[in-house]
Amino acid sequence: MNNTNIKIMALIMMLIDHIGYYIPDTPVWFHWIGRVAAPLFIYCVVIGYHHTTNKSKYLARLGAAAVAMGLLTLFINRRLAYLASIGELDGTLDYITHNFFASLFLIAFIIMLLEKKKVKYILLFIIWQVVSTVMVLYLESNVFVSVPLELFIFPLVGNVLLVEGSLFIVLLGVAFYYTYNDKVKVTIGYTAFCLLLALLIRRWGWMREWSFLLPFADYQWMMIFALLFILLYNGKKGFGLKYFFYLFYPIHIVALYFIGRFLD
């Protein structure tokens, strides 16, 4: 399988997962299938970062996609909040919370820092993690911002705890960076990662106070099946469709959200 083939498989599984997320009364196995999507997209981003001829442009494209997705959901969420405030919203007020572009951008950004091997930059990034965490906790405790604005700002501040999937999704990207071109290493590393994450979820995942670090269901271990597609990767790029993937993500999220509201 080439890179494009893997992205298409990831896209199909993501679509099934999000149908299960947004459309009422869908079976839980939609989410089982969806556990494979995120690891495949992360793997493809790592491959893309390694093979791109312009890494700054690659990062800028991911960053722009994250901001654009954030702005789109901010507009929709604020409109929903307004309609709810004047009593004109049918059903419950559920916000759009997805912005996986922010997770992918942060992974690529960290890889760039690791490639530069400059302690100063890595140290500044670590300091920013502490500063941004304190800032977010302060804002939340003092209720300075609305929920739609939180959902826009927090994933974009560059904090590993605030992106979709939290710290462990980012760590998976770093692990792929060091193992992606060695099938033995990627098999051992990815299997160990999935096992560790499954054990952590079993031990602490049900506790609300750990949900920021382990925002996963107890069937997250099914992400192990992404390894089958990773091992089939043949090192070839495929036929592109670069901008299709960037456009499909926001379009399908918004479409499924409103279809779900209509059906609920």
**pTM (whole model) above 0.85:** yes
Calpha distance 39→259 (Å, rounded): 27
**pLDDT tens-digit readout, 23-49:** 999 999 999 999 999 999 999 999 999
Phi, psi for residue 35 in degrees, rounded to 5 = -65, -20
**pLDDT tens-digit readout, 171-190:** 999 999 999 889 999 999 99
**pLDDT tens-digit readout, 83-94:** 999 988 887 889
Calpha distance 115→256 (Å, rounded): 38
